[in-house]
Chain A
Amino acid sequence: MSSALKTTFFPTWLVDPVRATAQHARAPFRPLSNRMVWIVPLAVGIAGLALAGVAWAMDAKQFYFSYLVAWTSCLAITVGAQFFVLIQHLTKARWSVVVRRIAEALTWSFPLLAVLSIPVVLGMHDLYHWTHADVMNPADSHFDPILKGKEAYLNTPFFLIRLVAYFVIWSTISLLLYRSSIRQDLDADPTIPARQRKVSAIGLLFMAITTAFASYDVLMSTDPHWFSTIFGVYFFAASFWTAHALIALVAIFIQRNKGLQNVVTEEHYHDLGKMMFGFTVFWTYIAFSQYMLIWYGNLPEETLWYRHRLEHGWETHSAALLILHFVVPFWILLPRSAKRNRVIMSFMAVWFVVMNWFDMHWLAMPVLHPDHASMHWASLACFIGLFGVYMAVFLYRLGRHSLVPQNDPNLARSLSFTT
């Protein structure tokens, strides 16, 4: 092959680490040429972020919490997509080859999210009570012996080191798998799948540990007295759930725009739907496991966290979470026909993305407003802004390469896949 894969440089690298290879894509896998696909979400995103800027000027503390919620929602999708790619490689999955490129393109959002974490770092003083110097000072009237006991872990320098480490590890895993997959499009080197599996085996271990600790750091430590060892699994469940939804949504969107015709079929949507349904139950299982053990243990330092979410109006949010994150999706996605129906699947996919944001909102926002339930416009602005930019960059990246790993040895089996 004359066309070797070429690396890009900063700042293009943030968007896509390799040069566009769309001209080498075979006809059915050619990306959408319509630029509106990414210009529209970009415009919406910038408008949302501009509004978020107004929110920052008006109430910085509210802005930081709203931003954190939106940022962790996008992070969750990316983490979930990365787990998706790792698991498909490790299990030599055949069914998913036609949708794997969508997930691979999603994972290269890590560098962008690293840049977008700057407001979180700037807002640390507002977001994380443990960053305050007075709570760590025994001579001060605000001294908090519990936080002092956690100081070895919860301190600003170590937090920043961990944050950098997470993004370096995540971006490395993403880079190795994304680049090798694009390289395979140009050059069907038979050693690539085995290498991808090897990277995935080690990558899964790192992803599991970093995802758990990242969730402790960015979300759980907003309420630093509280702790839950299952919190990392909860975050994983939410992220994996949303990632499947977004993969299905993007595939349906591309097909609506005359891409991937007869490539992704209702058999693939059926399987994505099964995963969405399955992880609806898994998320509930984990969320309830956390709740039930804390209910049973009945220890004040643990129950307080739930108490905040069950009074002053937050109980409405908790009930909405139970009904809209579990009960309704469960019954809608239960029938076989629903999972094979593109209209229902795209509706549920949007639902999942919004509910995941609502879940993150439920996790973080009661810390800021323990005495009254809140759904601030800044939260909506931040979510629309960040998610718009996130999707715009992702869709732009997706348009630079073949829409499926066109030389994957299992592609033919994926194309003819039936459940």
Chain B
Amino acid sequence: MSIYGREDSDLYGVLAEFRDPGELLHAAEGVHAAGYRRFDTHSPFPIHGMDGAMGLGNSKVGIFSLGGGLTGLALGYLLQWWTGAVDYPLNISGKPAFAIEPSVPVMFELTILFSAIGAVIGMFALNGLPRPYNPLFYSERFAAASDDAFFLHVASNDKFFDVEQTQDLLRSLGARHIELVYDHGEADEDS
């Protein structure tokens, strides 16, 4: 199923098509202003200002990144200390078995590595990826989202969602085409 799925019905949501990025941006503002939170926009290219229009806050990926970075820093310190001073101490030109100076590059590199890995994992987790299937693919028109069409999808599990009212709102915001998308749970079924 999907992150926007609904238990009691297989109605996945309303998919509205807009003519250009500007209309999509204004529609996103309108939908957000009407109180909706579970909606998404789809366009062939990034639209500047869309995260503001959709009312999206700061991305939470940074927290994963920070957590990964701090983990890497601590791990680098432990690695240097344990291998150098505990497990296999070697006297190299009289230098201390463990010292912070030569350990900093290792700690630094592991900080970078783990914060990068944390960012990627966090991005996947927050996006609900990997997800090879999305009910929106049942829509014939939706394929154009990667070519020349601009879509706004309101999920049926949004607390303001109402089949009629949501469609009216999207129409008043200038939607060119509106369809209901159902999640049949099978990839091969006709839409």
Taking Cβ atoms with an 8 Å cutoff, the residues of A that contact B are 288, 291-292, 295-296, 298, 335-337, 418
* Number of chain B residues whose Cβ lies closer than 8 Å to a Cβ of chain A: 10
Q: Is the CB of A292 within 8 A of B101?
A: yes
Alpha-carbon distance between A335 and B95 when the two chains are bound, in angstroms: 39
Q: Is the CB of A295 within 8 A of B101?
A: yes
Chain B nearest CB from A5 CB (Å) reads: 36
Q: Is the CB of A418 within 8 A of B49?
A: yes
Q: Is the CB of A336 within 8 A of B49?
A: no
B58 within 8 A of A: yes
Alpha-carbon distance between A336 and B95 when the two chains are bound, in angstroms: 42
Chain B nearest CB from A379 CB (Å) reads: 30
| Contacting residues, chain B, for A296 (C-beta < 8 A) | 101-102
B89 within 8 A of A: no
Query: Of residues 48 to 70 in B, which have CB atoms within 8 Å of A's CB atoms?
Result: 48-49, 58, 62
Do most interface residues of chain A lie in helix, strand or loop, or is the interface mixed?
helix
Q: List 18 A-B contacts (CB under 8 A).
A: A288-B104, A291-B101, A292-B101, A292-B102, A292-B104, A292-B105, A295-B101, A295-B102, A296-B101, A296-B102, A298-B93, A298-B95, A335-B62, A336-B58, A336-B62, A337-B58, A418-B48, A418-B49
Taking Cβ atoms with an 8 Å cutoff, the residues of B that contact A are 48-49, 58, 62, 93, 95, 101-102, 104-105
Alpha-carbon distance between A292 and B99 when the two chains are bound, in angstroms: 11
Chain A nearest CB from B91 CB (Å) reads: 14
Chain B nearest CB from A37 CB (Å) reads: 34
Chain B nearest CB from A277 CB (Å) reads: 13
Alpha-carbon distance between A154 and B49 when the two chains are bound, in angstroms: 57
Most buried by A among B58, B62, B95, B101: B101
| Contacting residues, chain A, for B48 (C-beta < 8 A) | 418
Known: A295-B102, A418-B48. 4 other contacts (CB 8 A): A288-B104, A292-B101, A292-B104, A295-B101
| Contacting residues, chain A, for B58 (C-beta < 8 A) | 336-337
Alpha-carbon distance between A292 and B105 when the two chains are bound, in angstroms: 9
| Contacting residues, chain B, for A337 (C-beta < 8 A) | 58
CB-nearest residue of chain A to B103: A292
Chain B nearest CB from A364 CB (Å) reads: 24
